[in-house]
């Protein structure tokens, strides 16, 4: 879930709630608050906790609520995870620490996640997103961590099908290996991945849900046709235009994108036109 900001940079909690109300109507299984597309590195702890509370409170009944609680230090991660737990989230998504990149060995990662899982009041999932962390967790580390009873899954956002398969091969069947890039949702489902946590679900939740339903009912031709349409949209909102693009797409498609928080900058008109065209070609329903 993105975090809408007001023009003055404050979190727009009302807009955030209105988004949930609308997302509740789509067939999503749950929500991730404070994921990497939420501008979480720009939020204060107080803002984070309020966003968690609102998500838990507003999510339709049967929805699973996850919160991103990974911070650079182990102790801060545990602290935030347990505050999230107190507010009722089902599990925490814990980003690989990465500031001292060169020191992030398998040993370090295994210790970090094991300690967090040992001391967390809720189960955790590993979050691997090399695009932002410049670090790619190894299958070996995942293999070992996936045996920990408190580590129940992993979101891999590398967008690499072969790597996803390599992770799948080393984890128990009960381990929730999730795909984090909507561009490879259908290929991932084909590999036996059971779910995705997707930036695209902010602005086009129905498309994401439909790809999975088409897959599950064996309508593979239609599934991949929709998948193919969504790739350029996903590329636009997660790569080319980044979070400002994701937010503008949301605004065009009936959600509350809101402003970005500085240092991020809003899209200029030329880029807005380009993005609108990409959404339009993909058959998304602009301006309703």
- Nearer CB in complex with a copy of itself: 64/136: 136
User: To the nearest whole angstrom, how small is the minimum distance from the Cβ of residue 203 to a copy of itself?
Assistant: 17
167 in Cβ contact with 156 (< 8 Å):
yes
CB of 112 to a copy of itself, least distance (A): 4
Nearer to a copy of itself, 220 or 272 (CB): 220
- Select which of 6, 86, 131, 155 is catalytic: 155
Positions touching a copy of itself (CB under 8 A) are: 9, 39, 41-44, 72-76, 97, 99-104, 107-109, 111-112, 115, 131-132, 134, 159-162, 165-166, 169, 181, 183-184, 186-187, 190-192, 218, 220-221, 224, 227-228, 231-232, 234-235, 239, 242-244, 261-265
Smaller CB separation from a copy of itself, 53 or 225: 225
Distance of closest approach, residue 19 Cβ to a copy of itself, in angstroms? 21
What is the C-alpha to C-alpha distance for residues 216 and 203, in angstroms, rounded to an integer?
A: 22
Provide, rounded to whole angstroms, the least separation between the CB of residue 62 and a copy of itself.
28
- 6 has catalytic annotation: no
| C-beta closer to a copy of itself: residue 30 or 187 | 187
Residue numbers annotated as active site: 155
């Amino acid at each position: 879930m993105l975090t809408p900001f007001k023009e003055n940079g404050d979190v727009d909690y009302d807009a955030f709630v209105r988004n949930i109300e609308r997302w509740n109507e789509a067939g999503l299984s749950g929500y991730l608050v404070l994921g990497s597309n939420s501008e979480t590195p720009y939020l204060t702890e107080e803002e984070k906790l309020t966003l968690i509370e609102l998500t838990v409170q507003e999510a339709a009944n049967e929805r699973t609520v996850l919160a991103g609680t990974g911070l650079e230090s182990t102790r801060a991660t545990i602290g935030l995870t347990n505050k999230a737990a107190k507010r009722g989230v089902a599990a925490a998504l814990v980003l690989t620490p990465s500031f001292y990149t060169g020191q992030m060995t398998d040993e370090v990662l295994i210790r970090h996640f094991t300690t967090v899982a040992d001391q967390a009041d809720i189960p955790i999932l590993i979050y691997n997103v090399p695009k932002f962390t410049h670090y790619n967790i190894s299958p070996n580390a995942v293999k070992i961590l996936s045996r920990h009873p408190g580590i129940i899954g992993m979101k891999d956002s590398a967008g690499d099908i072969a790597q996803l398969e390599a992770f799948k091969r080393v984890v128990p069947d009960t381990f929730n290996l999730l795909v984090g890039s909507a561009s490879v949702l259908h290929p991932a489902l084909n590999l036996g991945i059971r779910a995705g946590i997707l930036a695209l679900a902010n602005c086009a939740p129905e498309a994401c849900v439909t790809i999975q339903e088409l897959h599950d009912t064996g309508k593979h031709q239609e599934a991949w046709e929709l998948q193919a349409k969504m790739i350029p949209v996903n590329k636009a909102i997660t790569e080319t235009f980044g979070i400002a693009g994701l937010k503008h797409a949301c605004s065009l498609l009936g959600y509350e994108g809101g402003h970005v928080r500085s240092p991020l900058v809003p899209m200029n008109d030329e880029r807005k036109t380009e993005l609108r065209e990409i959404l339009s070609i993909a058959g998304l329903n602009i301006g309703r």
